[in-house]
Structures are given as structure tokens and as C-alpha cells.
Structure 1
Amino acid sequence: MKKYIIPVLIMVALSACNYMDEKPYDWAQPIDVFSMEASYEKPITQAYSYLKGGFNRISGSFLDAATDDGMSTINISTIHRLSRAYTTSNNPVENCWDASYQGIRQALFVQKNLAEIDLVLNNKSSEDVIEIKNIYSGEMYCLRALYEFDLLRHYGGYPIVSKFYNLGDPELSQKQRSSFADCVNNIISLCDSAEKYLDVTPVGGNGGFGRMTKGAALAIKAKTLILAASPLFNQSGNGNTFIGYTNASASDIQARWESAAAACAAVINLKKADGANAYSLHANYERLFVTSPNNEYIIFVSAPKSNGLENRQLPPTLSRDLGGGTVPTQEFVDAFTMADGSDYVESDISTQYKNRDPRLVASIGFNGSTYGALGTIQTKLGDGSTIDGLNLIADRSTNTGYYLRKFIDFNIDFSKASPGTAFHLFPLIRLADVFLLYAEAMNEAYGPDVDPLGFGLSAKAAVQRVRTRAGFKANDKYLTNVADVATMRSKIKDERRVELSFEEQRYFDLRRWMDGNKLNQSVTGIRIEQVGANLTANYFTVDGLRRFESKCICIRYHCKKQ
């Protein structure tokens, strides 16, 4: 037996040695990855993976469920802790620290190795390879700026990391928090570097939809300069360099608004090679959020096709096994103007959804709303009620009397064995956002009606562009008789609330405007009940525990990790 078994064992051992000589993928060194055409793009793509999409991301809820616009139906969602100020520096709920620094580290890793390792590409000259490396490095500059912008709006000054560190590097442990001003300047520098290398169109044309571009770099710069000019970071008498500018004078603030206006104008007026605008407002507000690709999104987070958003956010009768999720409040409903742009004045509750801003029907599901071909919902109680009715099923049925309609793809039908899937793009920056930021900066710098530097739009004209796309006609009264900065400021704030609802804008807008008092107020809903032919409706308090304190701004209490 031995003379047969021993040779076999030797053969197996030799074959095992050959197998062990192969290098496991997880052990690949940078030179193995960045020198090969088949693998060098993988770490580049990974740098995008740390971007945060806003759909259901906080315990199944939208961030807007912590504002006066929304409420989560999910009782155990941690979003309730944020809305009630049950947060600490060690457990902030809305924590971007880890993801941002992971993204920054990955981008720096890519830039370091693109610069140091020779890349061989088929049918590409050395000059072509250099250009490709520069473009991808430009994308990494842009991503670093975006991750740092998220840190800035959460924490104020943060430790700036500008080179790749190996784990355990003692220099990294000594990094200190930088001043707010230095962080702003660093983001602007990153955007300028990105703009130098990037084109208006992404790598791969339409096939690269979603990659960083020149427009993305300009948009991050504009958002950063708007943040830097905002009241939160220009408080009179502030002596703390981490939480804003110190001793900001009126002329300093004026100059910041002027810079912000110019940066927004650069995005709006950006042209493609053929002379056409790089970005344009989508013709249909409702379809905008289910159209991929579209020319209004500047930066967004995408994901593989799915139907999880619909299953969580549709009313229970239309979902598979969930429903509810994040639902609008009565305060949000009341924020919409009438169809002619005049203010909504509460009167007959039963007719409150008629003759209103077209975006109300597009954004909110209420009693009798139609969700495309999926059907009509009933949020009422009593005769003819369904499980869509107020508080009928815990964690699923609405607790405000409303459902979210925005973002939902009505082609997904859970009544079918194969309900279908769809791409869902969460907008981080889109053109309407930039138009309204431009209006804000122009109004603060020059007033509502003028365009002294010839950017092409006054503050009023920029707001009207957004409202016209929303469906308002020539008789729109929204900006009629608006002649002063304060009134225009209020109009811009209201317009941002409606246009950018549930896009993670209001949470940060209220903070930078120092309007946190709006988050101290109870949120309400509507109870509709039918008995026979009698339909009654009454408002009620949904959450009376809403609380906002100065610590909720976060910037005073974070950056303990260094």
C-alpha cells in the first residue's frame, strides 16, 4: 500500500505548492492594482462608495423626519432621538465622521498611487495615460472636497488630512482640528484643483453618469461659499475659530455673499463644448425624481435597481409588507402656496388640497390621492377605511394623515408576482438648489431686483425660474410687491423648503440660518373620519416632544476623535 499511497501524497503536495504560490486578491499590493488595465479603476470606484444616499438611511427614515416637514412612522427609528435632542457627541445619530474620513483616505490612496505607479493601457500612448491619470485624480480632488463639505456643515472646523497615512502612523495621531476658515479655504482649493483636471462631461460620456465633473467641482465650491456666508458662521462677537469666522464685520459678510453669488453663477452659466448649458431644469417636477439620467442632477448617489424605497414609503395597501416610513406633517402641507402664488390661508379643511402649488400633489399623498396606475389611497378612518388609515398598523400606517409621494416610481407594482425594480438617484446637488442658493446670495449681496455684475439673473428671476418649472403660470403672485432684502429672504427660505423637500436640505438650512427655533415646535397631523355621508377632519398634535438646543448644531461638541 505504501508504494502506491506515498507517490500520490507527493503529487498532491506539489500541486498544493503551486496553488499556494498564487497571490490572493485580498493581498494584492498597490503596484499590482494600479499598473494593470483590468484593476486600476476599482479603487477609484471604491472612493465613491462612501457617499451617503438619503433614502431610508437613518433607521429606515429620511433625515427630514427630524425637521418640521416630516415624521417617521417607525417607532424604534433613531431619527426620533435626533428630533428630540436626545443626542450626544459620542452618539449623534446623524454622524458623518467615519464615512467622510474613509472616503477621504480612499481618495488620497488613489491619488498617491496614480502618481507613483506606472500604468500600462492597451492602445494608449504615455500622454494618454497621463491625461487619464489626471482626470481620475481630479475626481478624487472633487470627492475629497465633497466629503470635507459634509464634515464642515456638521462639525465646523475639522482636522484637515491632505496626504495618505498608513495605519498607526504617529503623525496622524497628532492631527489637530483646523479653524473653520482654513477648512473653507481647503475645500475651495480642492475644488479649484478638481476643476483644472475635469471636463464638463464625465469620463465615458453618458456611460459615466454620476462621476465627478467640472460642474460638480463648481457646485461644491458654491455650496461651501454659501455655508461660509451664512449667519451661523458669522456670529457677532464669536471668538472661537472652530465654529465660524471671528469678529466678522458687515463688509466681510457682504464680500462672502458676493463670492457665493459668483460661484453659483459659474454653475448656472457653465457650458458644454457645443455651447449649450451644462445643466437644465427638468421639464416635469414629478418625473424629475424617477428619470435617470437627467440633466438637472449635478451630484447624486445611485444604487443598483431595487424596490426597497417603494416598499418602505408607499402606503401599506400599495407596498409589499411595509409602508409608511417617513411621512409629511401638516406644517409642511401648509407651507405650499395657492396655485396663483398667493399665501395659503387655513379655511375649510376639506378643500385644503385644491388649487394649491402643483408640487403639493406631486410630493404628498393625502386622503383620496392617486398613485398613478397603482390606485387611490384612503387615509380616513371609519366607513370605507383601509390599512392606510391613521395609525391603524404600527410602524406602517401614517401617523400624520399623510404619505410621501415624492421619489416613488409608480411602475413598481407589488400586486404582481414580479413587481419590478427601478434606479433611485438621491440628489446631493441639483440645479434648482443652485438657482435658489444663487437667489439667496444675490439678495444678500445686492438686493432682490438687480444683477449688477451681469450674471444673467436677479434674485427674483432665479426664484421664478424654479417656480415656472414647478407649474406656476404668468399670474404667479409669489414675488409681487417684494421689494426689500428681508421679505425676499423669507420668500427664498419658503421656496427652498417646498422645492427641495426630503432632500436633506432643510435640516442644514435651518441650522445655517439659525432658525432652529422652528425645530422646537410640535408637529401636527390631520385626522379624517367618515360616518355615513358625514366626513369630518381635525388637526391634532403628532409629536409634542420636538426639541432643539444649541448643542444640536453639533459643531461645539464634536471632533473629540483626532
Structure 2
Amino acid sequence: MNNSRYTTWFLVLLLILGTASSCKKYLDVTPENVGTIDYAFRNRNEAENYLFACYGTLQSFGNTTTDPSFTTSGEIMYPATIGEGPKVFDAGFQLMRGTQNISNPVLNYWDGAYGGAAVFQAIRRCNIMLDNINKPIDLTAFEKGRWIAELKFLKAYYHYFLAKMYGPVPIYKENQDITTPISELRVKRQPVDSVFNYAVQLIDEAIPNLPLVITDINRELGRITKVIALAVKAEIRTTQASPLFNGNPDYTGYKNHDGQQLFSTTFDAGKWTTAAAACKAAIDAAQQQNLGLYQFIRPANLPANLPAVLRQVLTLQNAVTEKWDLNNEVVWALNTNYYEQANSIPRLVPDFNLGSAPGTLAVPIGTTDLFYTKNGVPINEDKTWDYANRFSLKTGDAENKYLIGQDYQTIKNNFDREPRYYANIGFDGGVWYGNGVLDPDAAIFVQARTGPAAPKDNSRLNVTGIWPKKLAHYLSVFDKNGFSQTAFRIPRMRMADLYLLYAECLNESSGPSSEVYAYVDSVRSRAGLKGVVASWANYSFNPGKPLTKNGLREIIHRERRVELCFEARAGWDLRRWKEWTTVMAQPVQGWSVFQHDPSDFYIPVTQFIPSLTVRDYFWPLSDGALQYNENLVQSPYWK
């Protein structure tokens, strides 16, 4: 969509949101301003503006600071300026500290307060348009079919998004008539399987009338296609099959006021088979449109002698930061650019404008520990890697000069790691290829102890001394003139994600197989690693791990966390696996950033210990929501 169409869309969105701003009446499905409906659908152009307004809430999900999965993944702390408490824009990150509440829930996507959009209002807008789709007199039958399909997809996705956050949620198949009694408007939660099945039903109805691809990229990139719909269906089915929703004993007693059971109490293995089929259908459709794993192609502005190791790093970095229309791996992205790039980049030059790039997105040490050794196994499982002495000092040498600053003193932990480590993590001594310096032999490296990245005062600080390098485009520049960024969108689904979802579903449904290995290994191969069977057999203390269902499950889960790190996936994945509270029980640590001597800098400092319990798997409803609708029950374990 071009800028003029964005402006129109945004103004219409503000108008509609302005007429539906009451947080306590989010479930009032009687349309306000009924007299304006005929005007909104009087012709094709007006109706198209309304369609873009229906997309509006979806686009708002691209704001990472209010994305529940991004902020609660444990992959990043942000921002932690010394001496200041949480701000509204970083409240979601503070949820890891146990700050959620029922009086005013943080990232409230139910009511649309405190950092969240009112998703029920978005569903209501879709229903309004579906009710009035026949009114525009100049709308062709073809376009009408496509718009109906897009609206059904949006309804499906909004219901699914709410189910991930709240579990059982009301289903809104249509808006109620203005004369409907208030007692009938006070809806109740529906069982999670009913919500997931309804979302899939809508997607199945939508798929026949969605385009295979977007041909008019300038005007329509971001609108829904068949491939996107199939990929989302695969994700929904996988979520439905996962332990959080599939026979979870934690919610055996969770019911509506009338006694209706809201979670399935019996595990259904067939859900994994269904999910696997949905994943395969999405992969097949994507591959038919020539989607696959991204490979970096050297542009003319880079040196012809670009070392292979830097090509590898740029392949992994650009799988996320490459422009959508140039990236054959992106299945789906929102039109919203990643806004926090300035917070993802350290101070790389001596003379810099601090205000333009605060660099406060901080990566905990625990996140860096996820990445494998160069042998493709975890650092604590590699029998050839010196895990016990990983924090001892080591100086960058000629052999590693394109990854670690030569003659710069860092720690052994940063040596002999897999390529994704160097593509994802900006560590003290780590080469940061780009930032205006494209000669590989003169590449900048991070100096978090004594150089530009070292803290100069207490007002702006990366509290761990580690940055999410993956979230900064290599052509973005931070220098004395300020910050000039090459914008990008974080993918909402890419092919590596689909491959690993499919491998997970196959393993859960039938155990290890050559097909499971093939899909996992394809992602690992792009990352410069050998297959899981060979890697574990040759280098791990536990060589038979990939040969068992449980062992391979652990490997696939970790592979997703590594491959999709910083992409707003781990927050949902860890929840659906029921691993979130266990993983997050570990202290969140960084380096001793105010120390300049390496022996003092490389001492882990605990920033906080997450305070999470089983209740935090789902968001609570606000007191106001429960008071307004007496038929709603509070989320599990919230009082």
C-alpha cells in the first residue's frame, strides 16, 4: 500500500476507533452511529477504506513493545535506564517481574487499555462490513468475493490471537441486532477447541477466494493471500495440538458459571496428525510460489572479496531484515516497520549522537547460551568445547578476525560458536559488519568495556552489555550525524518457521523419521551446521538424543528458539509447550557493565529473577470487564 492509501486508511481507522473508545463497552455489539453505515458503504472507495480499517488492528500488532510474545519471551530486557521506573511503553517487558494485575491488566487486548488494542472491536468491524458488503453499487463480484475472504481471515486471526492470550474467549459469528436484549449481549467464554475450530472454519471458507500472490506490490503488499491463510491455519492447528491446550490437567476444573468445561480434559494425539497435514499443505503452497530458505546475494556495493563467513552471517541476518519483496523466505509480514532498530544497535564509533540511538535493548546472558557451538550441539553438551572455562579471557586472533575484533580481549564463550550466534548477538568484541564500513578488513567491532559502547553515564545504558544484532539492518548507520536506518519488517511467518512447525508435528504424531530430520536439517544446513543425527553422534555427550521422540522434541524446541530468536515467537512457543514458567525461573543476568577491566566486566550480574506462576500463562480480565458482563469467568488462577 502506498503512502497516500496509508494516510486514508489511517484517518478512517482513527475515525472508527474514536466512535468506539469506551473500554467498558467492548462487548456491546450494537453498532454506534447507525446512520453513518450507509455512507461508509455507499461506493467501492468508501468501502475499501472501511476494509483497511478492519486491517488496522492487525497492523498494530507489529509494534514489538506491545507484542505479548516479544515482551514476555525472556530474550530481551527493555529499557532499563538506571534510576527510573517502568514507563507505559515498556510495561509489557516488566511482566516478567510479576507486575500483571486484574485492576488494570498490562497489554490489555480484551478491553483495549494499557498498551493493547481492543480486538473485539476489530471483530465487530469485520462483522459490520460483512453485513453491508452488498451495498456498494460499483463493487465487482470478484472484488466482493476477495474482500469477504479477507474479512473472514481477519475474524479468524483476531479470535486466534485472543485465544492465545486468554484461552477460552467468546465467539462472535455476527453482530446482534440493535433490538437484542442486553441479557443476550452478555456473552460467555467458549471452549478453546470451539474457538480454534471456528477460526480454522473461517480460514477454510476464505482460502478459495484469496489470491495466490500479491501482484500489485506497491498497492497491496500486506493483504492476505492463500499462502498466508494456509500458514496461519497450520499455526492454529499446531497451537491447538500443543500441551497447553490439548488435555492440560491444570485446567480440569476451569468452567463457565453454567458448568461448561472450557478446556479439553483428554489428550488427543490426532490433533498432532491434523496439525502436521496443515503444515505440509502450507509448505507445499508456499514452495509452489517459489518460497524457500533465504540466501544472501552480494549486492554491487559490497566488495567482491566478501569472506564466506560474513556471507553466512548476512544470510542469517537478512533472512529477517531483507525487504519483503526481495526475500523469498517471508511468508507473511505486517506493513509496520520494526520501530526499535535504534534501540538494538550499540555505540560503534567514537563520535556519536547518543539521543538518536539509545541502544537500550539488552540481551540476557541466558539468551546467548541458547546458541550452539560450531559443531551444532548445545554448549553444555559439546564434549570438545571448554564449557567449564567459557568465561576465561581470550584475545581475538587472525583466524577469527571477521567474527571477533583482532587483538581485542574478550572471553572464550564467544569463540567457536555457530554462525547464528554471530548473526544474532552483538557482544563485547563481536564484529558488527556494516554501519557504513563495508570493507571486511576494516569492519567495526563492539567495544562494550572501554570503547564507544561502554556506559558514559547512568541515563542511557544497555544493562547487560549485549545487543540483539539480528534486529539491526547491516546497512543502517549510527554515527556523529545521528541514526540513518534501512527499515525492515519483522516477519510474522517465514519458511524456516513452517519447516520447524512441520517437523515438530511429525515428531509428536509418529516420532523420529527421515522426514523430520530432513526439515530440521534444512534449517540447520542454511545455518552452516551438520544434521542433528551426525552432530549429536560426533560431538555430544548424549549421542543418541535425536533418535528418541523425547530427545528430538527437545532438539526441535531449542532449534525454534535459536532460529527464530528475537522474532516474537518464543513467548507463544514456550507457553504452548508448557515450558514458559520453567525456562523463566532462571535469573536474568548481564555483564558488570560499569567495569572496564575484562576480569571485572565478565562477572554475571543478576538484574532480576522472574516472578511467574501457572496463572501467568493467560492474561486476566479486568475488574471492569467482569462487572460489565456477569456471564464471564475470570481467567484461570486469577482471583
Q: TM-score range by the shorter chain?
A: 0.7 to 0.9
1:208 to partner: Cα distance:
2.1
- Corresponding residue number in structure 1 for 2:65: 57
Distance in 2 (CA, whole Å) between partners of 1:86 and 1:309 is 23
Deviations 1:195-246 (A, max 9, x none): 1211221363574221111112112211111111111122248243578533
- Corresponding residue number in structure 2 for 1:17: none
- For the 8 Å contact 1:149–1:220, the answer to whether it is kept is no
Return the match for 1:225 from 222, 237, 241.
Answer: 237
- For the 8 Å contact 1:33–1:40, the answer to whether it is kept is yes
Deviations 1:273-332 (A, max 9, x none): xxx34532211221122212223222322236x8x5232222245665142332211111
- For the 8 Å contact 2:101–2:620, the answer to whether it is kept is no
Distance in 1 (CA, whole Å) between partners of 2:459 and 2:482 is 25
- Corresponding residue number in structure 1 for 2:75: 69
Distance in 2 (CA, whole Å) between partners of 1:181 and 1:74 is 39
Letter in 1 for 2:448: T
- Corresponding residue number in structure 2 for 1:41: 48
SS of aligned partner of 1:373:
coil
Distance in 2 (CA, whole Å) between partners of 1:414 and 1:537 is 25
Distance in 2 (CA, whole Å) between partners of 1:512 and 1:214 is 25
Return the match for 1:372 from 433, 442, 446.
Answer: 433
Summarize the alignment of residues 380-459 of structure 1 with structure 2, pairs less than 5 Å apart: 380=449, 384-386=450-452, 388-389=453-454, 392-394=456-458, 396-415=460-479, 417=481, 419-450=483-514, 458-459=515-516
TM norm structure 2: 0.73
Summarize the alignment of residues 101-500 of structure 1 with structure 2, pairs less than 5 Å apart: 101-114=120-133, 116-120=134-138, 129-165=140-176, 170=181, 173-202=185-214, 204=216, 207-233=219-245, 234-236=247-249, 238-240=252-254, 245-249=263-267, 252=268, 254-270=269-285, 276-283=288-295, 284-293=315-324, 294-303=327-336, 308-316=339-347, 320-321=354-355, 322-345=357-380, 346=387, 347-349=389-391, 350-374=411-435, 375-380=444-449, 384-386=450-452, 388-389=453-454, 392-394=456-458, 396-415=460-479, 417=481, 419-450=483-514, 458-473=515-530, 477-478=534-535, 480=537, 481=544, 482-500=546-564
Say if 1:290 and 1:131 are closer, same or farther in 2 by CA, change over 3 A. same
Say if 1:392 and 1:168 are closer, same or farther in 2 by CA, change over 3 A. farther
Distance in 1 (CA, whole Å) between partners of 2:575 and 2:379 is 25
1:106 to partner: Cα distance:
2.1
- For the 8 Å contact 2:427–2:446, the answer to whether it is kept is yes
The higher radius of gyration belongs to 1
Deviates more, 1:399-408 or 1:278-287: 278-287
- Corresponding residue number in structure 1 for 2:22: none
Say if 1:514 and 1:523 are closer, same or farther in 2 by CA, change over 3 A. same
Unaligned runs of 5+ in 2: 1-14, 17-32, 296-314, 381-386, 392-410, 436-443, 538-543, 630-639
- For the 8 Å contact 1:337–1:356, the answer to whether it is kept is yes
1:255 to partner: Cα distance:
0.2
Distance in 2 (CA, whole Å) between partners of 1:319 and 1:449 is 54
1:427 to partner: Cα distance:
2.1
Deviations 1:358-400 (A, max 9, x none): 11111111112233332432111xxx343x22x6544632111
Deviations 1:14-39 (A, max 9, x none): xxxxxxxxxxx999934334343433
Say if 1:89 and 1:340 are closer, same or farther in 2 by CA, change over 3 A. same
Distance in 2 (CA, whole Å) between partners of 1:42 and 1:336 is 45
- For the 8 Å contact 2:431–2:446, the answer to whether it is kept is yes
Say if 1:378 and 1:501 are closer, same or farther in 2 by CA, change over 3 A. same
- For the 8 Å contact 2:429–2:447, the answer to whether it is kept is yes
Number of equivalenced pairs = 506
1:418 to partner: Cα distance:
7.5
1:525 to partner: Cα distance:
1.7
Deviations 1:414-437 (A, max 9, x none): 436585443321222222111111
Say if 1:415 and 1:247 are closer, same or farther in 2 by CA, change over 3 A. closer
- For the 8 Å contact 2:102–2:620, the answer to whether it is kept is no
Say if 1:148 and 1:324 are closer, same or farther in 2 by CA, change over 3 A. same
Say if 1:500 and 1:161 are closer, same or farther in 2 by CA, change over 3 A. same
Letter in 2 for 1:326: L
- For the 8 Å contact 2:291–2:328, the answer to whether it is kept is yes
Return the match for 1:95 from 93, 108, 124.
Answer: 108
- Corresponding residue number in structure 2 for 1:86: 99
Unaligned runs of 5+ in 1: 1-24, 122-128, 451-457
Q: CA RMSD in A?
A: 3.0
TM norm structure 1: 0.82
